[in-house]
Amino acid sequence: MISIDVQHKFPNSNTSINFKIEGELQRFYGVYGHSGAGKSTLLNIICGFITPQKGKIIINDEIWFDATKNINLPPQKRSIGMVFQDYALFPNMSVKENLEYALPKKKDKAVLQDLVELMELKSILNQFPLTLSGGQKQRVALARSVVQQPKLLLLDEPLAALDQEMRLRLQDYLQQLHQQYRLTTFLISHDIAEMYKLCQQIIAIDSGKVTAIKSPSEFFQGQKLHGKFQFTAKVLDVIHQDIMHVVSLLIGEEIVRVVVDPELGHTLKSHDTVVVTTKAFQPIIHKIG
Ligand SMILES: Nc1ncnc2c1ncn2[C@@H]1O[C@H](COP(=O)(O)OP(=O)(O)OP(=O)(O)O)[C@@H](O)[C@H]1O
C-alpha cells in the first residue's frame, strides 16, 4: 500500500504543494501534467530530496516521513531506484563495475546476471560510459536502478533525450523490467503513447495538486481525444507560388506539405508553431509495426 499525503510551500513560489495519493504496490504509475505542475517535486518529496512541511509518506507499512512524529528517513534509507534524463553513471567505472557497485553487499549476484540478460548488456559490460550511446547508457542506468530491487522505482523523463526509435526500444525494456520484477514504478513523461503503453494508472498533477488517478484510457480519452485529429507542428518553410501557399510542417519526425489559404500563408514563417486539425474523421490506417 502506498499512502502519500503531504503539503509544502516553497519560499518565493506561488505554488502550494498538496499531494494526496493512495495506491497499490507493484503498479506502474505515470505522472502527467503541464510543465511546472509539480511532477518532479512529487518524486523529490517521495525520495527525500525535498522535505515537505506537513504530512506523511507510508510505503508498504513503513513510515518514510511523518511531520507530526518527526520521522524523516534520509534518501539512502528509503528503498528507491532512480533514473533521470541525464545518464548518471560513474564515468570512471565500466558498465559491469557500475552495476556491481549498486548491488547491496549481501545480495545474490544472480540478479545482476538476470538483468544483464534481460537488458542485453553482455556485449558492453567492459565498456566505459563515455563510449556508449544515449540509449545504451539509459539501459545501463535502468538496470543499475533495479539491481538493488528497490520498493519504488522513480523515473523522471528517462527517455526524453532519445530519438524515437531508441525511445520505443527502451519502452520495451521498461515493460520487460516491470513484468519481471514488478517494482512499483512512477514514470514522469509527456508522451501520451508512452503512458498508454507502460502505465496502469495515471497520476494527473496540476498546480501542485493531484487532480486525478485513473487508467490511461479513462484519463486521456476524457481529457484529450475530441474525435478529430489535432497535431502540434513546426513550420519549416513557406513557399508562395502564384496564388498557392505551400507550407512544410514538421509533425513529430515526419515532414508534411500542405496548401494553405493565402491569408494564413502570408502570416506564417519558419519556426512558427501551429496546431493542425482536420474536420473530417475518416482516416486511412495502415499497420506498419
Ligand atoms: N527548490 C525549489 N524552490 C522553489 N520553487 C521550486 C523548487 N522546486 C520546484 N519549485 C517550483 O515548484 C513548481 C513545480 O516544479 P516542478 O519542477 O516540480 O514541475 P514539473 O511538473 O516537474 O515541470 P517540468 O515538466 O517542466 O519538469 C514550479 O513552480 C517550480 O518553480
Q: Which residues contact 114 (CB under 8 A, 6 or more apart)?
A: 180
Topology annotation, domain 229-278: OB fold (Dihydrolipoamide Acetyltransferase, E2P) (2.40.50)
CA 264 / ligand 1 centre spacing (Å): 37
CA of 37 from ligand 1 middle (Å) equals 7
Chain-centroid distance, C-alpha 126: 28
Pick the CATH number of 2-222 from 3.40.50.300, 3.20.20.70, 2.50.20.10, 3.30.9.40: 3.40.50.300
Q: Is the pLDDT of residue 225 over 60?
A: no
Is residue 138 within 8 A of residue 87, CB to CB? The reply is: yes
Nearest to 130 by CA among 165, 85, 98: 98
Pocket probe for ligand 1: among 9, 10, 186, the residue whose CB has the most ligand atoms within 8 Å is 10
Helix axes 134-147, 110-118, angle to 10 degrees: 150
Domain ranges for the chain = 2-222, 229-278
pLDDT of 41-69, one tens digit each? Answer: 999 999 999 999 999 999 999 999 999 99
Grid coordinates standing for 15? 505554488
Query: Tell me, what's the ipTM?
Result: 0.95
pLDDT number for residue 143: 93
Q: Work out the percent of the chain whose per-residue pLDDT is above 70.
A: 95
- pLDDT tens track for 174-220: 999 999 999 999 999 988 889 999 999 999 999 999 999 999 988 88
d(CA 66, CA 63): 7
User: Which of 40, 46, 209 has the most ligand 1 atoms within 8 A of CB, as the residue to mutate?
Assistant: 40
Query: Which of 13, 16, 44, 50 has most ligand 1 atoms within 8 Å of CB, for mutation?
Result: 13
Give the pocket of ligand 1 (CB within 6 Å): 10, 13, 15, 33, 35-41
- The residue nearest atom 16 of ligand 1, judged by CA position, is 38
Instruction: Give me 172's grid cell.
Output: 520495451
